[in-house]
Structure 1
Amino acid sequence: MIRDEESESADLDVLDKQIIHALVTDARVSFAALAGILEVSEQTVARRYRSLRRRGIVHVSGQMNAVPLGVARWVIRLRCLPDRAMQLAESLARFPDLSWVTLLSTGSEVTCVSRPRTAERRDALLLSTLPRASQVTGMVAHEVMCHFPAADEWPRFGELLTEQQRAALGPPRQRRGFAADAAVELTREDERMLSILARDGRAPYARIAAAVGWSPARVARRMAELAAGGVLYFDLDFATTRMGFAVKGALWLRVRPGSLDAVGRAMATHPEIAFVAATTGPTN
């Protein structure tokens, strides 16, 4: 969970923002390749990235899309006691099946995304663990039924890079697939690899290979297979206020069913909207 207010006070300069933009497009782009695109030294890019990560401004993680494994994704809204909200958010951020934990400005609601690996883990989380937490006074769970992808990855700050630089980075990697052509089976080695990538999405192939007992080439090949199958994608979590986005908000709308597709697609084109989905629950 990235906290804007806990980062060091130094402002981000243009190069910092260019690096962040590049990581949005390709979270695992090499320092050498990025240095060539930005026309700086590889050491400069590496030093800037490590500083951004150390200060809690950016974090790259490998995320698992559970849909190809036959499991749904859920957006969870938790009402809680105002003086316990931060404690609840920090506890949720440590759960392996939860991500995008956010404390809302009301101070009494925390939202998160759940990707349970099995139906048993889903039921335990939604029916037992969360409702029984001492800080929780109410809960609503929305199953994600449909995702409306944006034409460009958010945030859309393309003016930071030239057309040539954007072309050199290539098209954005698939990050939030909700479907796959065929079911995917994960091995124990896959699970170990995904666990490492969840902590550090830029973990070198050699480090992963040593942990799972494969060669670096096999790790790279398997990562590519899981990404192509829609199981693995990479997310960049960053302190949005440092990029000029002063306010974050979540909108929960009730839309006429016949207009849902049109509304979702229209909202996905808005430059300041990061994620749009149709869900179950009192809002859709």
Structure 2
Amino acid sequence: MPDDSPMESSVMDVLDKQIVHALVHDARIPFAKLGGILETSEQTVARRYRSLRQRGILHVSGQVNAVPLGHARWVLRLKSTPDKALRLAESLARFPDLSWVTLLSTGSEVTCVSRPRSVERRDALLLHTLPRAPQVLELTAHEVMHRFPPDEEWPRYRHLFTAEQLEELGPHRSRPASAGPDVLVDLSAADEAMLALLGRDGRAPYAQLAAETGWTAPRVARRMAELVAAGVLYFDLDFAIERMGYGVRGALWLRVRPSDLDAVGRAMTTHPEIVFVAATTGPSNLMASIICRDTAHLYRYVTERLGALDGITGLEVTPSLRVLKQAQTLLDSDRIALVR
């Protein structure tokens, strides 16, 4: 049986990585079930999970997919002067509709993802708040037309499981649906309360969610399942990649021939370095997020993996100088800040 003592080091062992993969696969998997699959105790799994959270390595959150609610996702690129860019990024990180707020290595550009929950909030951000901000010199908004689902979610630890263990894990339950329902979903005040709590803690117990919403625990479970099935709710993990042994994070902005766009996007989802890839509007029509061990690894990826794909006519690589906010959490240096 693996050692169940808390790990003070930021290094992750095999059991930690197996727990991470299981959470990526099913963010709310019961620890008793996971302990049985990994042939260890429920208490050991729970202690390891708490250690990963306390060391600022990961955070599980429930996320709202705005597409089934009738709203698009946008990737924003904002140019500033070098002396104001960090202040701009810090301000953007406080916006609830913005995620993945990143200061690029140029020191004068910030990127973020906007997931507005209403047309009014979208217009307020894109037409009023950002254009009028004194730090913003230029704004480019790329609408996400299509997200290419990965064949395996990063950090790709599936190889640490046997075929029998993977079968016991069952179908993937955390990945956002690729398409929304035929009928748009309306969210009640109780739905919003549940989603807000899941945003802070994706593994919040049903009893806690019931107390927050005024529902019974069985009703919470049913409604959560309905929202997941509708593609409105999905679960995501934020990682402190430096504490996992990765030193380079960035974005790729590709120009691809329209006839090759789908093939290139699908091919990139099989690359271990790629975390996210989507077809977008704008001057580049394919955008991807990438994580590499170091700059040499990034160079090999660009020249060998991307270089082997037909149809790419242009590429811009923008390494991250600092990530201030991920999907849900703020980063404090190289660790995830505690979510309250």
- Give me the TM-score of the superposition, normalised by structure 1: 0.90
Distance 2:173 2:68 in 1: 18
1:281 and 2:282 are equivalent in the alignment? yes
The letter for the 2-side match of 1:161 is: F
CA contact (8 A) 2:18 2:161 kept: yes
The letter for the 1-side match of 2:253 is: W
Q: Deviations over 1:48-94 (max 9, x none)?
A: 21222122210111111111111111111222333444443333233
Q: Which residue of 2 aligns with 1:3?
A: none
Q: Write 1 or 2 for the structure with the bigger share of strand.
A: 2
CA contact (8 A) 1:17 1:243 kept: no
| Correspondence 1:26-41 to 2 at 5 A | 26-41=26-41
Distance 1:12 1:174 in 2: 22
C-alpha spacing 1:18/1:140, structure 2 compared with 1 (3 Å): same
Q: Which residue of 2 aligns with 1:45?
A: 45
Distance 2:135 2:20 in 1: 35
CA contact (8 A) 1:68 1:178 kept: no
Distance 1:238 1:61 in 2: 11
The letter for the 1-side match of 2:116 is: P
Q: Write 1 or 2 for the structure with the bigger share of helix.
A: 1
C-alpha spacing 1:39/1:132, structure 2 compared with 1 (3 Å): farther
| Correspondence 1:242-261 to 2 at 5 A | 242-261=243-262
CA contact (8 A) 2:10 2:244 kept: no
| Correspondence 1:59-138 to 2 at 5 A | 59-138=59-138
Distance 1:103 1:30 in 2: 37
C-alpha spacing 1:105/1:22, structure 2 compared with 1 (3 Å): farther
| Correspondence 1:262-273 to 2 at 5 A | 262-273=263-274
Distance 2:103 2:219 in 1: 40
1:181 and 2:181 are equivalent in the alignment? yes
CA contact (8 A) 1:77 1:111 kept: yes
SS at match of 1:196: helix
C-alpha spacing 1:267/1:10, structure 2 compared with 1 (3 Å): closer
Q: Deviations over 1:150-183 (max 9, x none)?
A: 2222222222222222222122225232422321
| Correspondence 1:147-162 to 2 at 5 A | 147-162=147-162
| Correspondence 1:188-227 to 2 at 5 A | 188-227=189-228
**CA displacement at 1:258 relative to structure 2:** 1.9
Distance 1:20 1:87 in 2: 33
**CA displacement at 1:242 relative to structure 2:** 3.3
**CA displacement at 1:10 relative to structure 2:** 3.1
The letter for the 2-side match of 1:165 is: Q
Q: Which residue of 2 aligns with 1:5?
A: none
C-alpha spacing 1:126/1:168, structure 2 compared with 1 (3 Å): same
C-alpha spacing 1:270/1:133, structure 2 compared with 1 (3 Å): same
C-alpha spacing 1:13/1:213, structure 2 compared with 1 (3 Å): same
Distance 1:185 1:229 in 2: 11
CA contact (8 A) 2:210 2:217 kept: yes
Query: Which is bigger in relative contact order (C-alpha 8 A, separation at least 6)?
Result: 1
Q: Deviations over 1:225-266 (max 9, x none)?
A: 000001000010112233343322210011122221122112
CA contact (8 A) 1:99 1:112 kept: yes
* Percent of aligned positions that are identical: 71
**CA displacement at 1:9 relative to structure 2:** 5.5
Distance 2:115 2:180 in 1: 16
Gaps of 5+ in 1: 1-7
**CA displacement at 1:220 relative to structure 2:** 0.5
CA contact (8 A) 2:27 2:174 kept: no
CA contact (8 A) 1:143 1:280 kept: yes
Distance 2:37 2:84 in 1: 46
CA contact (8 A) 2:57 2:244 kept: no
Distance 1:250 1:185 in 2: 34
C-alpha spacing 1:90/1:20, structure 2 compared with 1 (3 Å): farther
CA contact (8 A) 1:67 1:73 kept: yes
Q: Deviations over 1:157-212 (max 9, x none)?
A: 22222222222212222523242232111111111111111111111111011011
**CA displacement at 1:41 relative to structure 2:** 2.0
Distance 2:132 2:65 in 1: 27
Task: Number of aligned residue pairs: give it.
Answer: 277
Distance 1:172 1:244 in 2: 26
CA contact (8 A) 2:17 2:157 kept: no
Distance 1:195 1:210 in 2: 13
